[in-house]
Amino acid sequence: MRRILQLLSAMTRWEKLVLTFLIVVLLSSSAGLVRLFYLKNSTLVSAEGGTYIEGTVGELLPLNPWFIVRNDVNRDIVSLVFAGLRRYNTLTREIENDLATMEVSRDSKIYTVRLKDNIYWHDSTEERPHLVTADDILFTFKTIQDPQFPNELLRQNFRGVRIDKVDDRTVRFTLDKPYSYFPSNLTLGLLPQVSFDGIPASNLDQASDFGFSPVGAGPYRVKSVVRTDMSTEVTLERFPRAIPPVHKLDGIVFRIFADYSSLLLDLRHLDGVRLVPRNDDGQPIIAKRFTTLKYTLPQYVALFFNLDRPALQDVKLRIGLQQGTDKRAIADAIHESLIIDTPLLELDAGDWHYKFDSDAAQGALLASRWNLPERVRLQRVLELEDANDAGLIHPPPVVLFEEGGSLTITGAYVPALRLASVNGVALRPGPAGSGSWMVQMPFLSGTGALFYGDNLVKVTDGKKRILDSFYVFVAKDHSEFDRAYGERRLARLYRATKDGSQEGDQKISIGDLALDAGMLRMRNKADPASVRVNEKGASLELRLLTSDAPESYRIVANEIARQWLSLGARVKVEVASSPQEFQDRLLRRDYDILLFGQSLLDNLDSYPYWHSSSIQKLTGQNKDLRQDAYNLSQYVSFKADAELETIRRTTDEKERQASLSHLREILKTDAPAIFLYSPQYIFAHNKDIFGIELGSLSLHSDRFLTLHKWYVKRERVFKPGVSWGSFFRWLPSLLQ
């Protein structure tokens, strides 16, 4: 060391500067090499820690898995706080084990579940551990079967199911008949029996103490619920569990706002936004620093025909309306993209291409018992023309009488007309030697008098037997005479067009005609669309009911009314003023057409929506109305019932797919509804949130089923087989 100091002291100032520079270069180079080695031989991986804050619009209600059917805000939180025996995997689209393993009997009627080891409730402590047991499973599901349980819809899932405790960790579910979708029912979050001691089943939905301080067995537990003037904030903290998957985020915060405008005011404090709305151009209303992810759920929006209505029992009418519905125009109007034509969403629709065909629609409607009034009138005029042309006497079809006038008809005698009379007026000989006859028919009074409008005139022989009949139209004035005469001319022109004898631009079709004051004339651009009528003259007028939310329903309903008017159906759009009014009218089936959406959830089960057992029995008594009558079309088909029952029962995938295909054809033929589109949703997150992978969601809350992959913190770790000791072995690779 002394020697080094002596050398340094002997150096000139310039030599010291050079030496210092070289040392700095050496150290910098070494540091650079070390950093390069680390970067080349390490990788960024997720690390535990951090908090994710999500904004949502809605209302926080008590958090309880039994009562979240109509509250997606609660469902999001419940999905993290509670856990079920099974869980849906959004990546594989299968139901897999969660808190328990499961065995199924060969006849698919017995499901035996066994809890995994060391599953604890959130209120567990080292001093007082609270294990999840078979008693909690029995409590969760047997409570649902209680007749006083205040969720009828959930109780439907466990009718006909016997639940037995095998031991402290094992429970057996026995079904009356095979039901392949039953495992989906076991995804319901378990509840601890001890938390509800002394509460009758009828009051469980009022257990707010538990609802705002819930105890579950999910990956996160509720830390706090804080209400402010701007929002309600629910903070969750990670709960250590002995079962996979392991979640990385320390905390999840839900900030619940009354409306989206309030949410946007606090956007800078949010990492994610649930259900981002779109503007009039279809663009998401969110800051550019957010990444948006679009997704669909197993849902469809459809027009449900109420088949209890006599008019809609005509399948040709339903098919005509279906073929004349431009789904693409509807989807474009509300910025949707996924058009559908079947409620069976598990079928591969890759070989299907939607085709809107107005000509086919008009053909189907023509075959129905509803016709355009122009066609009805034209048919009548042609019949009158045929009757007049085919008889023994050929009068003028249209006449105009002056006051006190009469109609004189002449013709040549034929044997059948000797001693004949017309409307009771005897034929008299014409001029001497002419071999002709004549008859005068008075106007308004007297034997055989003619009146304004169409007159059926009968020719009879001496024994009052009818020899012939013909029609004469008596016009009130010159204007009516011209219109009636022009109508006959158009009828003859239409007939010539149909038989091919008319050429050039004189050809006409039904669409070229308009009905004006009961007579046909050429249509002009200002004429309104005609409304079809039936054989009784009743107009085809339909009431379309829809909900006031989402707003897109109103847009779709008005577009349907516009499209169907061009087909000859007048639609009156009725938007319910409140959710309660809509629910009441839906239950009473107070509509001709219903615009509404249905969700198939993770099992894609269509049985509740199309099986005849789900129709509403309308007795006139509100007490008899069923909340679970999901068959909104009142559709009854024994063929469809048989296929739906097979799909529910079978575990053979080939048999299942065959029944699905058959059912699709049945529904296509019967047309109980027009299936329009599957709604698209938008989820947004900050670009600093990593690992988000949605997969195939069945519910909005399913985005959290991959939460264990999400992270906000990252760290570098050496690649396998590499450490700091590998540095000197790595250096020679730089020279290669």
| Structure confidence at residue 398 as a pLDDT band (50, 70, 90) | very high
Beta-carbon contacts of residue 632 (< 8 Å; ≥ 6 apart): 304, 586, 589, 594, 596, 598, 609, 673
pLDDT over threshold 80, residue 11: no
pLDDT of 527-580, one tens digit each?
A: 888 999 988 889 999 999 999 989 999 999 999 999 999 999 999 999 999 999
Please tell me the total count of domains within the chain.
Answer: 4
- Tell me which of 713 and 309 has the higher pLDDT: 309
Whether 401 and 495 map to the same domain: the answer is yes
pLDDT of 156-183, one tens digit each?
A: 889 989 999 999 999 999 999 999 899 9
Least confident among 513-527, 559-573, 583-597 = 513-527
Whether 340 and 397 map to the same domain: the answer is no
Whether 72 and 219 map to the same domain: the answer is yes
Six token digits for residue 697: 């969601």
> For position 106, which CATH number holds?
3.90.76.10
pLDDT over threshold 60, residue 709: yes
Q: How many CB atoms lie within 10 A of CB 423?
A: 18
pLDDT over threshold 60, residue 231: yes
> For position 323, which CATH number holds?
3.10.105.10
Tell me what pLDDT residue 331 has: 95
Whether 562 and 612 map to the same domain: the answer is yes
pLDDT over threshold 70, residue 650: yes
Tell me what pLDDT residue 463 has: 83
Least confident among 110-124, 137-151, 230-244, 710-724 = 710-724
Whether 512 and 594 map to the same domain: the answer is no
- Evaluate whether 482 touches 517 at the Cβ level (below 8 Å): no
pLDDT over threshold 60, residue 109: yes
- Evaluate whether 189 touches 65 at the Cβ level (below 8 Å): yes
Six token digits for residue 631: 């068959």
pLDDT over threshold 80, residue 723: no
Whether 485 and 446 map to the same domain: the answer is yes
Six token digits for residue 77: 């939180």
Tell me what pLDDT residue 666 has: 95
Tell me what pLDDT residue 306 has: 98
Whether 362 and 345 map to the same domain: the answer is yes
pLDDT over threshold 90, residue 640: yes
Tell me what pLDDT residue 353 has: 55
Which has the closest alpha carbon to 324: 679, 609, 678, 671? 671
**Residue at a domain's end among 629, 652, 678:** 678
Whether 242 and 107 map to the same domain: the answer is yes
**Residue 642's domain spans which residues?**
299-369+539-678
Beta-carbon contacts of residue 548 (< 8 Å; ≥ 6 apart): 554, 575, 576, 577, 578, 579, 582
Tell me what pLDDT residue 428 has: 87
pLDDT of 243-270, one tens digit each?
A: 999 999 999 999 999 999 999 999 999 9
- What is the enclosing helix (H) or strand (E) of 2? helix 2-10
Tell me what pLDDT residue 274 has: 94
Tell me what pLDDT residue 33 has: 66
3-class DSSP assignment, residue 683: strand
**Residue at a domain's end among 223, 255, 287:** 255
pLDDT over 90 for what percent of the chain? 62
Asked, for residue 283, whether it belongs to a domain, the answer is: no
Q: What order do you get walking across the sheet with 428-429 strand by strand?
A: 406-412, 436-442, 428-429
Region 709-722: what's the mean pLDDT? 80
Asked, for residue 423, whether it belongs to a domain, the answer is: yes
- β-partners of residue 299 are 599
Asked, for residue 137, whether it belongs to a domain, the answer is: yes
- Tell me which of 502 and 141 has the higher pLDDT: 141
pLDDT over threshold 90, residue 23: no
Asked, for residue 698, whether it belongs to a domain, the answer is: no
Tell me what pLDDT residue 537 has: 85
pLDDT over threshold 90, residue 58: yes
Residue that is written with structure tokens 């080891």 in the block: 117
Whether 554 and 481 map to the same domain: the answer is no
Whether 423 and 365 map to the same domain: the answer is no
Centroid of chain to Cα 568: 25
Tell me what pLDDT residue 310 has: 94
Asked, for residue 454, whether it belongs to a domain, the answer is: yes
Region 196-211: what's the mean pLDDT? 89
Region 575-604: what's the mean pLDDT? 93
pTM for the complete prediction? 0.84
Whether 384 and 510 map to the same domain: the answer is yes
Region 300-327: what's the mean pLDDT? 96
Distance CA 145, CA 177 (A): 17
Asked, for residue 289, whether it belongs to a domain, the answer is: no
Tell me what pLDDT residue 392 has: 84
Which has the closest alpha carbon to 79: 204, 189, 210, 191? 189
pLDDT over threshold 70, residue 728: no
Region 472-481: what's the mean pLDDT? 92
Whether 92 and 232 map to the same domain: the answer is yes
Tell me what pLDDT residue 393 has: 86
pLDDT over threshold 70, residue 348: no
Tell me what pLDDT residue 380 has: 92
Asked, for residue 713, whether it belongs to a domain, the answer is: no
- Evaluate whether 520 touches 364 at the Cβ level (below 8 Å): no
| Structure confidence at residue 603 as a pLDDT band (50, 70, 90) | confident
Tell me what pLDDT residue 164 has: 97
Tell me what pLDDT residue 352 has: 56
pLDDT over threshold 90, residue 323: yes
Tell me what pLDDT residue 435 has: 76
Tell me what pLDDT residue 1 has: 61
pLDDT of 274-297, one tens digit each?
A: 999 999 889 999 999 999 999 999
Tell me what pLDDT residue 246 has: 92
Asked, for residue 695, whether it belongs to a domain, the answer is: no
Least confident among 13-22, 80-89, 468-477 = 13-22
pLDDT over threshold 70, residue 522: yes
pLDDT over 70 for what percent of the chain? 91
Residue that is written with structure tokens 């016709």 in the block: 371
Per the prediction, the chain carries an average pLDDT of 89
Tell me what pLDDT residue 6 has: 63
pLDDT of 36-49, one tens digit each?
A: 665 666 676 778 89
Least confident among 355-369, 631-645, 697-711 = 355-369
| Structure confidence at residue 15 as a pLDDT band (50, 70, 90) | low
Beta-carbon contacts of residue 720 (< 8 Å; ≥ 6 apart): none
